[in-house]
Amino acid sequence: MNTATAIARRTAYGLCIVSALLLTACGTRHVSKDITPEGRAGAVVFPDPDRIVLKGGTFPNLEDLRAIGPGVTKDQLYQALGRPHFREGLFGVREWDYLFHVRTDTGTTTCQYKVIFDDEQRGQSFHWAPASCADLVAARTPPAAAAMAPGASRFDVQTDTLFAFARYGRGDILPHGEAELAALGARLAAARRANVRVVGHTDRIGGEQANQRLSERRAATVRTVLVEHGVPAASIASEGRGKSQPVTRDCADGMARAALIECLKPDRRVEILVTGEETG
């Protein structure tokens, strides 16, 4: 290796180290899947909180956070929320991730916040983990205001009819679940226009991070099946909410495991939310 080559390599390596210190890395790193040019993700995936670079996260100004919306630039985000908290990449970065702490009447809740950018580097979609953090940050409104938008449709599918317990893969779809998704996929594929959001939920058995990943993977698999049955990929997104939104109330932890699994069955579900559907 000649001297010029050695110097060039040391210079490139040094630039990479400097970039890492500035919360970037040599190359592009995407966590979410199938990000469209419009700034939507086919499957929203949050980075492991243990990989955070800005240790400890921050307490955001909630009014600044509430002002963030579609079309926001990276400079505006930096001014309002500060630098992203994870090592996002150097070129073509399509998502920024934060770890925020939100004070409530009963203490402090830790939340992950993600902004996904379009091809013009403007934020277009915004996500929380757990999803319930969105309610903590939003301005206080009566519960009735959270009703579904007019004309929206919602389909709840029990994951026990879709997957074997604790499974999530495409090959794990049960025959009854396959038939149910095929029928729904045919309906949505026949619509002239429909926006679809697949939301996975788990029961409370197991750790928070494991359940979050399981809910994301199940939702992503359901999305895959619907796309296979003709639903346009660009019109359907998936996300997971882990065990943050249970619907059961009377399942005591002291139950035998088999009884508890059966009692918590309603919590293991996939919601398919459809808006803007046009038929005919």
Give the span between the Cα atoms of 75 and 209, in whole angstroms: 31
Which domains are delineated in the chain? 12-35+44-137 (no CATH), 148-278 (3.30.1330.60)
CA angle 101–106–112, rounded 5-degree value: 25
What's the pLDDT tens digit per position in 239-267?
999 999 888 888 888 888 888 888 998 89
8 Å CB contact between 65 and 136:
no
Q: What is the mean pLDDT of residues 164-180?
A: 85
DSSP classification of residue 233: G
77 three-state secondary structure = helix
> Residue 5 has what pLDDT?
54
8 Å CB contact between 94 and 122:
no
> Residue 144 has what pLDDT?
34
Helix (H) or strand (E) holding 198: strand 193-201
8 Å CB contact between 83 and 96:
no
> Residue 279 has what pLDDT?
59
What's the pLDDT tens digit per position in 213-226?
999 999 999 999 99
> Residue 149 has what pLDDT?
52
8 Å CB contact between 75 and 108:
no
Residue 164 has pLDDT above 50, yes or no: yes
87 three-state secondary structure = coil
> Residue 203 has what pLDDT?
92
Among 1-5, 123-127, 242-246, where is mean pLDDT lowest? 1-5
122 three-state secondary structure = strand
Q: What percent of the chain has pLDDT over 90?
A: 25
What's the pLDDT tens digit per position in 200-215?
999 999 999 999 999 9
Give the span between the Cα atoms of 193 and 216, in whole angstroms: 25
Cβ neighbours of 134 (radius 10 Å): 14
Give the span between the Cα atoms of 169 and 175, in whole angstroms: 14
> Residue 225 has what pLDDT?
92
Q: What is the mean pLDDT of residues 170-176?
A: 87
Work out the widest C-alpha separation in the chain, in whole angstroms. Answer: 73
> Residue 141 has what pLDDT?
36
Place of tokens 């359901």: 222
How sure is the predictor about 16, in pLDDT bands with cuts at 50, 70 and 90? very low
Residue 24 has pLDDT above 50, yes or no: no
8 Å CB contact between 263 and 256:
no
Q: Return the higher-pLDDT residue of 85 and 192.
A: 85
What's the pLDDT tens digit per position in 53-82?
988 899 988 878 877 878 888 888 888 888
Give the span between the Cα atoms of 209 and 194, in whole angstroms: 31
Helix (H) or strand (E) holding 273: strand 269-278
How sure is the predictor about 4, in pLDDT bands with cuts at 50, 70 and 90? low
Give the span between the Cα atoms of 99 and 116, in whole angstroms: 15
Listed residue (88, 85, 99, 86) closest to 29, CA to CA: 88
Q: Which amino acid is at 129?
A: A
Helix, strand, coil % in the chain, rounded to nearest 5: 35, 25, 40
Answering whether pTM is above 0.75, one says: no
> Residue 103 has what pLDDT?
83
Q: What is the mean pLDDT of residues 218-236?
A: 91
